[in-house]
Structure 1
Amino acid sequence: MIHFCFQLFFSGALGVQTIAEEGLLVGRAGDEMSLPCSFAGTFMNLTLVQVTWLKKTDGGNVNLAVYNPQYGMSYPSRSSRVTMANSPTLSYTLTITPLQLSDQGLYNCEVNTFPDGKLEFLTDLTVLVKPLSKVAAVPAEAAPLEVPVANCTAANGKPAADPPEVIITGYNGNWYMKNTNHSLRCNAKANPPVTSYHWTISTGSIPPTVQNMGDHLIITLVDYSLNGTWTCEATNSIGRGRGEISIVVKEPDFATAGEPFGSTVIYLVVGILVAVLIAVVLLTLARKKVRQRVADSKEKVNSCQRKGSEFVVLATVSLKVMDCSHPSKRENCDPETTEHSETAMG
């Protein structure tokens, strides 16, 4: 409950005036509810003109009660469930009895004074409704297992009440022998909230490898003792709800070794493929470098050969010897030389 206190300072007054108001109130349908609006302290030179209680609605303000020092008390709403107190202590409390769901809403206490005018203070009222509960017997025969013997019904509550709805999560169908770090969780949706959880297994008592943590179980080691139907029963003040899940523990092998083994195989295959790919790339680069070196070497050799035979000179010299001892042949005794030359560029 939230309480607000407002202090009002009046000019020319010898004291301080205070109006106290309950800002937020919660009540139950069928009970009596009081909405206070009162003066506190002493005051002088202040005249009370009128006090009015209003309820704010979508269609406007509804006038519930009015007090006027001259004309007395009046109830414009004509509701027999509403009264306003006029006490010598200047308390103008609005009382509603019995409280109904329709009374929920925002209330305004207006205090008109002279010469300071009107003061307004709001109260927000919330109404809770207890649900209507009904129990109906269900015919049942004696049996070694639990069977329902009654149906419990809760209706017309505010807020709405639920028998708990339970779902068990945590099992994905791939629990293998010797696995660790598994758990089951009892997820319950209920109003009012769940107050207790109870776990059972169809094969008997809970195995020692299971730690009961209330709304969840911690599986420290997976073995065949976990096989069976697990039940979580959640209880609140309205009733109980249960959820079930069947667990089958598998034996790990090469084909069905579970997620951890499968992940390891995948990582191993991917690693091998990456290593082979890297080796192929490196080998290709190495062979390319070797071929490049051989080609560079041949290019250097060819370049040197061309430079050494760049100018090749071929020359032919013909010499003709004449017999000049005879006079008849002397005219041809002048030396004659025939030359032939060729120049080739490589």
Structure 2
Amino acid sequence: MYRLCSVLLLLCPVLQAQEINVNEKVTGTLGQQITLPCTFNNNGVDMQVTQIMWMKDSTNLATYSPQFGIHVQNKNDFNLTASPSSATLLIKLLRASDEGNYICEVTTFPGGNRRGITYLSVKAEPRNSAEALPVIAGDIEVPVAKCASANGRPPSQITWRSTLPGNFDTTMNNNTDGTYTVVSNYKLVPTWTADKQEVICIISYDSKESVIPITLSIQYSPIVTIEGYDNNWYLKRLGASLTCNAHGNPQPTVYTWKTADGSPLPNTVKAKDNVLYVDEVDERVNTTIVCEVTNALGSRASQQEVLVRERALENQTNNAGAIAGGVIGGVLVLLLLAAVIFILIRRGGVHKKERGSYNPKPRIFGSGKPSQEFTYQDDSEMGKPLKASGPLRDSGLSPSLAEEEEDESEERMKYNVLEDDDEEEKFNEVGPMLQLRPHHDPYLDDDMESQTDGSIISRTAVYV
């Protein structure tokens, strides 16, 4: 026991000094060769290499011995180059089955065995392709484009990008050589509007993307329209024409002009491909003209009814700008007329308010006190101040009282001059008015009353 412990103590520094240098992971390409190096480093410790051996899954592939040399189990697939402290394994033609862990084992004396492990990854670059699948327009969803990534290892990932409404399905096949083939189909309901549209196939492999655009091919019968008739074909018109526009997949090849009732075209009409020329319009052109277009899938037609007039339409224009300008001008004129009418109505209302609408009859009001006789004026005298209908009667006052009354009359005349304008405004606002008290009545100011409409009326006045 003592001797065994002593030997182990002597071997520990030796084991720590040994070092096997290998690559932890290498990647090779399918069908090509690759080398796996293995080097022993004794770090200055005196020891002897007795053997270096390469293995895979516990199977001996190749061995080197300083005493017996190099030995390779399968020389068709492997080869070994060696030196006293290293051995490099060569794999001649990589296959998918070559992927895995490779062990380099070095035997030394007195150090014993040491190992290093290398993982070999085998990859295969795929072959990518994409194509449109020609289909005929219909109502059932079908594949319209195919994208493939063949013989790749590891398998690729395929996605699609498109503005068209559709979906895709993907399948993956395992090949006998350990590679994978991935196929993806893009599907949609084929309509003629999808023809010449683009979908994009995206293939992802080994952190790289391949973007492949595909232009769809949807086959359909011709779509036909006729242009050139302006609703102004008149007798003796020269140089009229109709153009038959058509598109299809495959491209249209035949254009046929004819009449809807089967009658022959007039002599003045000449057809050349998709254009129908009319040298001179006459009554025979007054018919329905048909253009029929044919491609490999079939024929379709469009027709145009032609109305021949005796004379050309006057002031005909197709200028949208002129039409829009006329509409705007008409709207502005209507707005201007509306504004003028509004102003006239408003002025008429004001004038009517100023003039009033009264047609009063003459009346005489009086009391027990001396008074004057007043009458309403006719409409023609509305602007004049109210006045007595006759001379004042004798009041029977004494001469002294008459003089005082005369003085007071002069002052009242001054006061009346200032009131004339106010009376005229009140007259215009509330109509003809007859006061029951003279102007010098001390209760005159208290007699007036304001109304809710802004006017002023007298409490003792009589309104007709």
TM range (shorter): 0.3 to 0.5
Work out which of the two has the higher radius of gyration on C-alpha atoms and give 1 or 2: 2
- TM-score normalised to the size of structure 1? 0.40
Relative contact order: is structure 1 or structure 2 higher (C-alpha 8 Å, sep ≥ 6)? 1
- TM-score normalised to the size of structure 2? 0.30
